[in-house]
């Protein structure tokens, strides 16, 4: 008999993909309170936090067969933040519409804007965590749209070094996006699996 409580997240995720209910129950037990605390920390609303986490686990179970996650805890935490972000954006949008009743409300377009904004903010957060020189190069390139020779001149480093920093930064961000499951979350929201 398998002692599910001793299994790693990766092992539980593999079992979950095959529809193992006990593996799902173990994931739920392992992460429910952690995700609830995270959701509450962002919403300051116990009821909203419980709803977000409940919806998260319902979605995980529904999508178990296609779930491909390297870091389960990171994926769940990102999903909670994404749900909170969507909720905040929806409320903000609702207030804007209430202020100006002439505005045309398009739910699908609204969801896409929320997803794009979330993804951009997540990437910005990842850029901020890059090593200092790598971050500076990345900002000069992506924010100020400077060319590689311009960045090299501005920072007093070789063009090859600039290219190295850009490559390193992109690779780090791509790995973090993959590990956290952000791209999968946004893709899921597009197909309305994460949209309330």
Query: What is the tens place of the pLDDT at every residue in 79-114?
Result: 888 888 877 777 777 676 666 655 555 555 566 676
- The answer to whether 31 touches 77, Cβ cutoff 8 Å, is no
One DSSP character per residue, 87-121 reads: HHHHHHHHHHHHH-TTSPP-HHHHHHHHHHHHHHH
- Give residue-wise pLDDT tens across range 117-173: 777 777 777 777 788 888 888 888 877 888 888 889 888 889 899 888 888 888 887
DSSP code, position 7: S
Q: How confident is the model at residue 29 (pLDDT cuts 50, 70, 90)?
A: very high
The band of 28, judged by pLDDT with boundaries at 50, 70 and 90, is: very high
CB atoms within 10 A of CB 128: 10
Helix (H) or strand (E) holding 21: helix 21-43
Contact predicate 27/21, CB 8 Å: no
Which domains are assigned to the chain? 8-105 (1.10.1740.10), 107-196 (1.10.10.10)
């Amino acid at each position: 008999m398998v002692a599910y409580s001793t299994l790693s997240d990766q092992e539980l995720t593999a079992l979950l993909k095959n529809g193992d209910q006990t593996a799902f129950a173990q994931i739920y037990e392992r992460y429910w309170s952690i995700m609830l605390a995270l959701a509450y920390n962002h919403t300051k609303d116990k009821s909203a936090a419980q709803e977000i986490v409940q919806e998260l686990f319902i979605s995980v179970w529904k999508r178990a067969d296609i779930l491909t996650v390297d870091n389960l805890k990171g994926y769940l935490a990102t999903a909670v933040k994404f749900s909170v972000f969507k909720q905040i954006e929806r409320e903000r949008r609702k207030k804007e519409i209430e202020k100006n009743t002439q505005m045309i409300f398009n739910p699908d377009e609204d969801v896409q804007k929320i997803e794009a904004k979330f993804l951009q903010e997540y990437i910005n957060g990842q850029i901020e965590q890059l090593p200092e020189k790598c971050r500076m190069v990345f900002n000069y390139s992506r924010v100020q749209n400077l060319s590689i020779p311009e960045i090299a001149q501005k920072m007093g480093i070789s063009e090859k070094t600039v290219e190295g920093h850009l490559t390193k930064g992109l690779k780090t961000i791509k790995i973090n996006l993959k590990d956290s499951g952000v791209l999968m979350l946004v893709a899921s929201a597009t197909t309305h699996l994460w949209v309330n």
